[in-house]
Amino acid sequence: MMVWALWWFGVLHLLLLDGYVSRLTGWLPAPALAVPLFCVLFARPGALPGLLAGAALARSVLLEGNAAVHVLILGVPVAALLPFRTVFAPGSILWQALASGFLAFMLPRVASLLFRITGEGAPVSPATSLEILLAMCVVPLWTRLLRAVPPMRTFEDEQP
């Protein structure tokens, strides 16, 4: 229970850090991308609803749109990548880079699509090729840092 409370309050601080990093450098990929990448690669399937709900709620505080929209923005790409766990090992660097690139590509597009349909949220510019390439290189490092935070071990999948 304590771990979940730490997650629900802690993910908000991760997004604040994301905003702070964005202010310092416009080119560094968003640290918040580590959350969906963690869900795709390492999270326990049973923990996914709580992880996504907490992240969506935190995003709805700091970004435009309600929590339901952010659940879909985060959850749809995660659901699309989850089946590839049978193909790639979570420790594979290639798999981490590909998944990071896919998330950097898909998240803005899903957000813009939902904005066009529902009017919730905000239109987001699609990521450029350079931004996707940087995400492929840097976001796995962000995820490694996120996994080093003690409560995150509780959410990791023990089965290979």
State the nearest-atom distance from the C-beta of 100 to another protein, in Å.
16
Binding mask 88-127 for another protein (x = CB under 8 A): --------------------------xx--x-xxxxxx--
Binding mask 4-43 for another protein (x = CB under 8 A): ----xx--xx-xx-xxx-xx------x-x-----------
Q: How far apart are CA 107 and CA 14, in angstroms?
A: 17
CB 39 within 8 A of CB 147: no
Q: How far is CA 79 from CA 6, 67, 85, 88, 128, in A?
A: 24, 17, 11, 16, 23
Could you tell me which stretch among 82-90, 96-104, 133-141, 143-151 binds another protein (CB under 8 A)? 82-90
Choice from 75, 77, 101, 140 touching another protein (CB under 8 A): 75
122: left (phi over 0), alpha (psi -120 to 50) or beta: beta
